[in-house]
Amino acid sequence: MKLMISIALLFLLPSCASQTSVVYIESSPEPLDGVIQTKIKDTVSLVCTLNGTHEDKELVWLRNDAMIKLNDGNKENRSCVCINPVIQKDDGATFTCQLKSNSSHSASVTLNVTYSADLSGSEKVTLEEEESLDLQCDMRANPLATSVTWQLNGTLVDLSTGGFIITNDGINTKLYAKKVDRSLHEGSYQCTVTSPGYGPQSKTFQVTVTDKTIKFPLMPTIAGVVVVALTTLLAIVSRWRVIAKCCK
Ligand SMILES: *[C@@H]1O[C@H](CO)[C@@H](O)[C@H](O)[C@H]1NC(C)=O
Ligand SMILES: *[C@@H]1O[C@H](CO)[C@@H](O)[C@H](O)[C@H]1NC(C)=O
Ligand SMILES: *[C@@H]1O[C@H](CO)[C@@H](O)[C@H](O)[C@H]1NC(C)=O
Ligand SMILES: *[C@@H]1O[C@H](CO)[C@@H](O)[C@H](O)[C@H]1NC(C)=O
Ligand SMILES: *[C@@H]1O[C@H](CO)[C@@H](O)[C@H](O)[C@H]1NC(C)=O
C-alpha cells in the first residue's frame, strides 16, 4: 500500500510541476504571492514566456476574462503587455497568460493599485431659495480613507444648524440640506478625504443662493441627457487607450 502511494506520487509530482511551469509571467515591478503592488500613473510590464518546446506556441492574454489584442510577433513563445499608465480601474484586475490551444496552461497576476481620492478644483453651484442642496465627492481611495470631512467657509459643517445631513457609502460622501436659505447655506463648501500614504485631497463648491423664480424644467432635462450620453461615450473611447504595448 505504502509502495503504491509512493509510485503514484512519483508519477503525479512531475506532471504537476510541468503543468505549472509551461507558461510563466515575469513582471516589473515583481509580484509578491501573485499580487503586483503599484500606484496610479505608474507603468507595469508583464512578460509571459512559454517554457520548453511545445507544438502550439501561441499565447493569449486576458484582463479579467476579456481578451487583450496582441500584435503579430508578440504571440509566439513570448508575449508582453504593458499597462501604461495604471488607472484606478486596474485595481484588483487580474492578468492571465495562457496557451491559446489549452487554457489549462496558464499563469496570472493581480494588480493592487494604490491611489488617493480623485478630488480637486472648484465647482460653482447656483440654487434658488428653498431648493435642496446636494453636494457629493468621490471618497474612494486605496488604502481606504481614514478621514472624510465637509467644511463651510473654513469651519466644519455644523450638523445642528441648517438641517445638514452627511452620508458616506464608501464610494461617495454626500452633503445634503432639504431647503436652502441664503443666510444659512450660501458660501464656500469643501470636502476633504485623507487616506494613508497620501495627503488630504479636497474639492470646493461655491454655492450661491438666488431668489425664487418660476421654472421651465424641459431645457435642463435635455441638456442633462446630452451630457450623460457624451460622458458615457468618452469613457468608452478612453478605455481603449489604456492597454498599450511596450515590448523590447
Ligand atoms: C521550465 O521547465 C523546467 C522543466 O520542466 C523546470 O525545471 C523549470 O523550473 C521551468 N521554469 C520556470 C520558470 O517555470
Ligand atoms: C518558438 O520556439 C520554437 C522552439 O523553441 C522555435 O522553433 C520558434 O522559431 C520560436 N518562434 C519564435 C517566433 O520565436
Ligand atoms: C490541456 O492540458 C492538460 C494538462 O496538461 C491536459 O490534461 C488536457 O488534456 C489538455 N487539453 C487539451 C484540449 O489538449
Ligand atoms: C493593497 O495595498 C495596500 C497598500 O500597501 C494594502 O493596504 C492593501 O491591503 C492591499 N490590498 C490587497 C487586496 O492586497
Ligand atoms: C460664507 O462666507 C460668505 C463670504 O464671506 C458669506 O457671504 C456667507 O454668508 C458665509 N456663509 C455662512 C453660512 O456663514
**Same-domain check for residues 85 and 161:** no
Q: Which three cell numbers stand for residue 197?
A: 500614504
Domain count along the chain: 2
Residue 43 has which C-alpha cell?
507603468
Cα–Cα nearest to 109, from 93, 88, 89: 93
How many residues in total does the chain contain?
248
Per-residue pLDDT tens digits for 121-177? 999 999 999 999 999 999 999 999 999 999 999 999 999 988 999 999 999 999 999
Domain that holds residue 73: 16-114
pLDDT > 70: percent of the chain:
78
How high is the mean pLDDT of the chain? 85
Q: Are 81 and 59 in contact (CB under 8 A)?
A: no
Q: Which three cell numbers stand for residue 1?
A: 500500500
According to the model, what pLDDT value does residue 55 have? 81
| Spatial distance between the Cα atoms of 125 and 237, rounded to a whole number of angstroms | 29
**From ligand 5's centre to the CA of 187, what distance in Å?**
5
CATH of residue 57's domain is 2.60.40.10
- Entry pTM: 0.70
Whether residue 105 sits in one domain with residue 75 = yes
β-pairing verdict for 133-138 and 172-177: antiparallel
CA of 241 from ligand 5 middle (Å) equals 44
pLDDT, tens digit, for every residue of 147-159?
999 999 999 999 9
Quick check: CB of 186 below 6 Å from ligand 5? yes
SS3 11: helix
